[in-house]
Amino acid sequence: MNAPVVPGGYVGFWKVSADGSRVFYAGWPVTVGMNEVYDVPLDGSQASRALSAPFLPGRGCFPNASFQLSPTETRVLYLADQDTDEMQELFSVPTDGSRVSTKLSGPLIAQGDVLDFQQTPNGTRVVYRADATANNLYHLFSAPADVSTPPVQLHPQMAFEFKVTPDSSRVVFRASQLNSVPVDGSAPAQLLSNSGVTEYVGEFAITPDGQRAVFEGGYWYPDPVTEDELARGLYSVPLDGSGPVLELIEPIEATFSLSYPAEFLITPDSTRAVFHSLVDGQLFGAHTAGLTPSVRLNDLPFANTVRSFRLSSDGSQVVFVAGSGGGHALYRVPVDGSATPVALTPLYPAGLLDNLEVSASGRVVYVRLPFNSSIHAELYSVRLDGMLAPVRLSDPPASGSGIGNPDFTSGPRLWISPDAGWVVYLAHQDASRVVELFCAPIDGRHPAQRVSAPMVAGGDVYSVQFVPSALRLVYSADQETDGTNELFTSSYGARVPHGPPQPPTKGLQASGNPGSATMTAP
């Protein structure tokens, strides 16, 4: 899709437009070392064109920070040393190709840079962090997108993390504690948490309704090995400061001096949070306003630890992988803990289950790793109600084959299509480890088919985005030249013949009471 890339160049961050008509991307396609932003029509009717302002030699967009599109996709925002060499500032340009930029960030000291930024959902302002007054002391600033007034500093303390509320009215940020401030700086910041309740404030999230902040917190305690260790729990507080900080999950002290940050998700209706303690591998559910006591969700009839979890699309169910030394299985449980967990898969005695994704159509997709690696890994899906046995979506494993990229195990391996009918996934079919793109119906009614074009020796597919309202996708790969990442487009699903679904097969819950399953302690 992109224009030819010069030797040593590449395409980096990229994004399909909301209407599916074009792709925006950044990289070094023309000049090695000069990162620029481009767009190209998806139908190939025009060549790629540069959107970012022209740069002097040796300058360009900040390569480690992705560009952002305005909500209307009429402008692109990016960080670049456009005006002063080695000084990263925030700029905005139209997406019409005029390449006339507007600087959004304010004055910086000689060593200063804009570190990161976020637009308000309504697109009227942009919030950014910069060491504008002292080197490496990153304060929080807000600027109007139309540059009608100068940027304003929102708080005197250094900010470590920040998020804008869904209604674009406030910025929630983490300094020494959690704070909230009007996005335009029209009033002082309000302290939301306090050290009397929690000494430590970690990752936080804003509930979808914009009413509360849910955050990881806890306290320090002495440890004979590391001297100081952190007990981690989950807390909640209203963003308007109208109520106290609530302890949703009591902090859990680490054993064996292993204290890892926790994971948590919030349901779409904002009422519940699911908390995965990586200290002891347990899974808890809590009401975000503290209206009901917290519950342990992995309450199985044998000692177990939870490896990973996901929420169903409506937030009513939690899907999780749990097990012990005897193996792992996939389970579901109501998010409020009102029923015991139900097994969706048999107990796999070896390896792991990974890469959980839950579709809006009510299926769970997962990767089975028989040997704790991508080699011989297989892709499965199972109905969320557990009424049918899991079905394998990928081809039977062959020597050296597997799901995902064996050299980049931290990246995504699979994607569910917007209509929830298809699964697109990365796979290497043999010992050559060439990673290609495949597509399978999510219910397994037909065999998987290759989506990507043939790769050169050493070529791999890395990432995928779907084109809205079309059975088409865009993927990045070094398909034509090993080591040169570029963009390609392909259809998916359309070449697979339609037909009746698989005949029902006896699943884990086919006998006995509906909704029940037999679970055997490993």
Q: What is the DSSP letter of 211?
A: S
Instruction: Note the pLDDT of residue 521.
Output: 32
User: Same domain for 36 and 178?
Assistant: no
The count of structural domains within the chain is 2
Cβ–Cβ < 8 Å for 171, 142: yes
User: Same domain for 290 and 331?
Assistant: yes
Let me know if residue 224 belongs to a domain: yes
Of 198, 213, 337, give the one whose Cα is nearest residue 266. 213
For 112, counting Cβ atoms within 10 Å of its Cβ (0-12 exposed, 13-18 middle, 19+ buried), the class is buried
Pairing state of beta strands 200-206 and 342-343?
Answer: unpaired
Of 362, 332, 361, give the one whose Cα is nearest residue 345. 332
Q: In what order do the strands lie in the sheet with 89-94?
A: 68-69, 75-80, 89-94, 102-103
Q: CA–CA separation, 459 vs 453, rounded Å?
A: 11
Let me know if residue 129 belongs to a domain: no
Cβ–Cβ < 8 Å for 175, 155: yes
Chain CA centroid to CA 183, Å: 25
Let me know if residue 117 belongs to a domain: no
For 420, counting Cβ atoms within 10 Å of its Cβ (0-12 exposed, 13-18 middle, 19+ buried), the class is middle
Cβ–Cβ < 8 Å for 461, 475: yes
User: Same domain for 219 and 285?
Assistant: yes
Which range marks the domain in which residue 295 is found? Answer: 97-111+134-142+155-491
Sole residue written with tokens 């809205």: 468
Q: Which pLDDT tens digits describe the chain residue by residue (522 residues)?
A: 998 899 999 999 999 999 999 999 999 999 999 999 999 999 989 999 999 999 999 999 997 778 999 999 999 999 999 999 999 999 999 999 999 999 999 999 999 999 999 999 999 999 999 999 999 999 999 999 999 999 999 999 999 999 999 999 999 999 999 999 999 999 999 999 999 999 999 999 999 999 999 999 999 888 766 667 888 999 999 999 999 999 999 998 876 544 466 799 999 999 999 999 988 899 999 999 999 999 999 999 999 999 999 999 999 999 999 998 888 999 999 999 999 999 999 999 888 899 999 999 999 999 998 765 556 789 999 999 999 999 999 988 777 788 888 777 777 899 999 999 999 999 987 667 799 999 999 999 999 999 999 999 889 999 999 999 899 999 999 999 999 999 999 999 865 444 444 433 333 332 222 232 323 333
User: Same domain for 236 and 273?
Assistant: yes
User: Same domain for 364 and 417?
Assistant: yes
User: Same domain for 348 and 448?
Assistant: yes
Q: CA–CA separation, 79 vs 130, rounded Å?
A: 11
Sole residue written with tokens 């025009």: 46
Let me know if residue 379 belongs to a domain: yes
User: Same domain for 87 and 178?
Assistant: no
Let me know if residue 123 belongs to a domain: no
Q: CA–CA separation, 262 vs 253, rounded Å?
A: 12
| Domain at 262, CATH number | 2.140.10.30
Element (H, E) at 164: strand 161-164
User: Same domain for 438 and 368?
Assistant: yes
Of 33, 491, 35, give the one whose Cα is nearest residue 25. 35
Let me know if residue 411 belongs to a domain: yes
Rounded (5°) CA angle 463-468-473: 35
Instruction: Note the pLDDT of residue 25.
Output: 96
Determine the 3-state secondary structure of 216 from DSSP: strand
Cβ–Cβ < 8 Å for 428, 413: no
Q: What is the pTM of this model?
A: 0.90
Instruction: Note the pLDDT of residue 504.
Output: 33
User: Same domain for 31 and 107?
Assistant: no
Across the strands, what pairs with 435? 428, 460
Q: CA–CA separation, 476 vs 488, rounded Å?
A: 6
User: Same domain for 395 and 249?
Assistant: yes
Give residues with Cβ within 8 angstroms of 419, minimum separation 6.
none
Q: Please state whether 313 falls in left (phi above 0), alpha (psi between -120 and 50) or beta.
A: alpha
Let me know if residue 149 belongs to a domain: no
Q: In what order do the strands lie in the sheet with 11-16?
A: 11-16, 22-27, 36-41, 49-50
Q: CA–CA separation, 372 vs 91, rounded Å?
A: 45
Q: CA–CA separation, 425 vs 420, rounded Å?
A: 14
User: Same domain for 81 and 191?
Assistant: no
User: Same domain for 381 and 397?
Assistant: yes
Q: CA–CA separation, 127 vs 116, rounded Å?
A: 9
Q: CA–CA separation, 181 vs 142, rounded Å?
A: 11
Instruction: Note the pLDDT of residue 253.
Output: 84
Let me know if residue 405 belongs to a domain: yes
Cβ–Cβ < 8 Å for 248, 275: yes
Instruction: Note the pLDDT of residue 430.
Output: 67
Q: How far is CA 505 from CA 108, 192, 199, 379, 502, in A?
A: 66, 53, 53, 18, 8
